Amino acid sequence: PFFKEFVPKEFPEESKLLAKLNANENPYGPSPKAVEALREVATKGNRYAWKELFGLIDKIAVEEGVSPKNIMMGPGSSDLLEKTGMVLFLDGGNVVSADPSYMSLMQVAQATGASWKPVPLKEDWSHDLKAMEEAVDSETKLVYICNPNNPTGSITDSKELLDFCSRVSEKVPVFVDEAYLAFLEDGAKQSMVSLINEGKDVIIARTFSKIHGMAGLRVGYIVAQESTLEKIQKITRGGMGISYTSIFAALASMDDKDFQDSSREKNAAAREYVYKSLSKLGYDYVPSHTSFIIFPIEMDGKLFLDKMRAKQVGVRAFEFMGKNWCRVSMGTMDEMKIFTAALTDVLA
């Protein structure tokens, strides 16, 4: 594995930054309707939310076109990536994924006792599905795919992925993390969720943290076969971690399509601005299908983070494929201007 992250001394506080572009948060969220719902239900914080949670599950099931029995909720999709990673690897085995990719599930799987079989992304930054299929062996318990991928922002063709999931899930479950899919114009069409009704052993993860702008409110879910969820829920519980208030915020946010559309549009406009700025500065970038952009920097990653931090700009830095990279999240247009000005100085 050649994927490494440069870690700053401390994770910066929002109040100390002029542009917080380090965690792929949605700068516009939560939706005003979600905020209104939060205010209305704040006093219900003394209650558990059993029935209310089932209400949210039913609504999500309708949107996804599956049965409520195919849904497991969690406080953010992290919780479900981790629970899946923990439960499926209790008896060891290995997990196959791209490198670089979003490491949450693989980290827990490895800590639980599994090994990680990384498969480098292709030159066009898509998943090397052929090599991933070949990497599956008798010890493999799960394949993890992040599409679009973090930290590269790149996409894998949905038809090829659908074929891959159909075939490979006959041998092992395939986990598809669709955290950023809703930033695509036709995200719903590119989802793997249709495989659930075909009985395929796929697990699709979705989150309210990104397009809904609710990262701090912690709501996410997975869609999977009932038998797979039974296995995970025998050891861990789904919705117990979600707060009463967040459930109502999620319900309200689902109804606010205008907010989701506007997040998608503003995100795309910020991306265009950053592409132009990087090109002007003579920098390459990986075309993004997400709410962040990654581009190579010719500087030590840690030094780069420190210098950007001195300009009160928070970003992330990685090393892979023999290069150092900056990953910048799409903030407001004002934040992107601050970022560009800082970058111009730091890389001068």
Interface residues toward ligand PLP, by CB under 6 A? 24, 76-78, 102, 146, 150, 177, 179, 207, 209, 215, 220
Strand order in the sheet with 94-99: 71-74, 220-223, 202-207, 174-177, 140-146, 94-99, 115-120
CB of 343 to ligand PLP, least distance (A): 22
The Cα 41–Cα 26 span in angstroms is 23
Which conformational region is residue 93 in: left (phi greater than 0), alpha (psi within -120 to 50 degrees), or beta?
A: left
Nearer to ligand PLP, 183 or 277 (CB): 183
Nearer to ligand PLP, 220 or 331 (CB): 220
The Cα 154–Cα 322 span in angstroms is 18
Nearer to ligand PLP, 104 or 340 (CB): 104
Nearer to ligand PLP, 177 or 335 (CB): 177
Residue whose beta carbon is closest to ligand PLP: 76
Total residues belonging to the chain: 348
CB of 135 to ligand PLP, least distance (A): 20
The Cα 347–Cα 101 span in angstroms is 26
CB of 76 to ligand PLP, least distance (A): 3
CB of 179 to ligand PLP, least distance (A): 4
DSSP secondary structure code for residue 241 in this structure? G
Nearer to ligand PLP, 82 or 346 (CB): 82
> Rounded to a whole number, what is the largest CA-CA distance in the chain?
57
230's CB contacts (< 8 A; 6+ apart) are: none
Nearer to ligand PLP, 218 or 309 (CB): 218
Expressed in angstroms, the distance from the first to the final Cα of the chain is 31
Cβ pair 77, 110 in contact under 8 A? no
CB of 87 to ligand PLP, least distance (A): 17
CB of 344 to ligand PLP, least distance (A): 27
